[in-house]
Amino acid sequence: MFAIRNRWVPAYFREIQMCCLMKTTSRCESSNASFKMNSGSVQKEIIKGMMLCFITNYEKTPDGVETFTVHHADKRSNIINEFQVEIHLPKQVLSCTCMGFTRIGYLCRHVFCVFRYKKVEKIPDDFIIRRWTKNLLPSNLFSSDKLLAGDNSEMSLKMNELMDLVTQCMDLLIGDVEEFDSFFEQIKDMKQNLFEKLKIEASTRSRLSEIRDLVGDFDDSEVLFSALEGIRNKGSRGKKRRVVGPHETAAVKSKKTLRKCRTCQELVYHDTRNCPLNNEDCHSDQA
């Protein structure tokens, strides 16, 4: 194992892009989960770069590359490591000896510490990997016509295509506030003109027609089977909330006091009015 350590020890893969995902399935799943939007991974690095990292040395080469020595401390303010950060923003040069960006895919706390010193308010686009962005997958994958059990009628297909066109325009205008506002005003004007032209009034359609448009047409054939009446299952609503089992009935009776019945002359839970002997006498009289 030691002879082939360059094949399995993580330190030998630091220069490989996204090498942190070259692990077991569980590690890959946990790494992907940590990169979800609003997961807080980058925010945590920014906070740790502000609280636990500080610059101790600075050098600048003739070609403009700046080198910062960043000390990394623990929660007790004990220095545990030292890293070198090279930065030259005009040429998009940015690297750290911890290789965090290469291994994980987002900038490390040491770089954010340098960003704070240089008052960089926005992460350069070249250091935002598309793998972790919202627009990684093409928008047509989320198109309505890709949904299972969709309505394939002509009107439905046109409605889906219209929604996809609007969605594509919105995705294209993200980040451009002026163009987005212009597109927004155009849509509002089109809607206003359409409403004035058609003079849309309150809908007089029946509720059944609206349900048909929502879930599609359904069979109006005669119902051959219906629910049985007079059947009370456990948990059904009726005079009693639920069916009481024999064990529960026996437990309730055990708490009652025995009394003497005048008909059968025994200590029982009933009285003369509901004595079983009364029913027997009634049957014998009828016979």
Q: What is the model's pLDDT at position 23?
A: 55
**Distance in Å from the first CA to the final CA of the chain:** 98
> Quick check: helix, strand or coil at residue 84?
strand
Cα separation of 110 and 99, whole Å? Answer: 10
Q: What is the model's pLDDT at position 85?
A: 92
| DSSP run (H or E) holding 158 | helix 154-173
Mention every residue, 6+ apart, whose C-beta is less than 8 A from residue 236. 242
- Does the pTM surpass 0.85? The reply is no
Cα separation of 105 and 12, whole Å? Answer: 17
For the stretch 146-197, pLDDT in tens is 665 556 778 777 887 888 888 888 878 877 889 989 999 999 999 888 888 7
Cα separation of 115 and 70, whole Å? Answer: 12
- Nearest-CA neighbor of 228 among 217, 236, 220? 236
Positions in the chain short of pLDDT 70: 1, 5-39, 135, 137-151, 199-205, 217-220, 229-242, 279-287
Cα separation of 76 and 52, whole Å? Answer: 9
Mention every residue, 6+ apart, whose C-beta is less than 8 A from residue 45. 106, 107, 108, 109, 112
Q: What is the model's pLDDT at position 26?
A: 47
- Spell out where the chain has E strands: 53-60, 66-73, 79-88, 93-96, 259-260, 267-268
Cα separation of 31 and 25, whole Å? Answer: 10
Q: Which residue has the tokens 């029982």?
A: 268
List residues bridging with 87 in a β-sheet.
66, 94
For the stretch 35-55, pLDDT in tens is 444 457 788 888 888 899 999
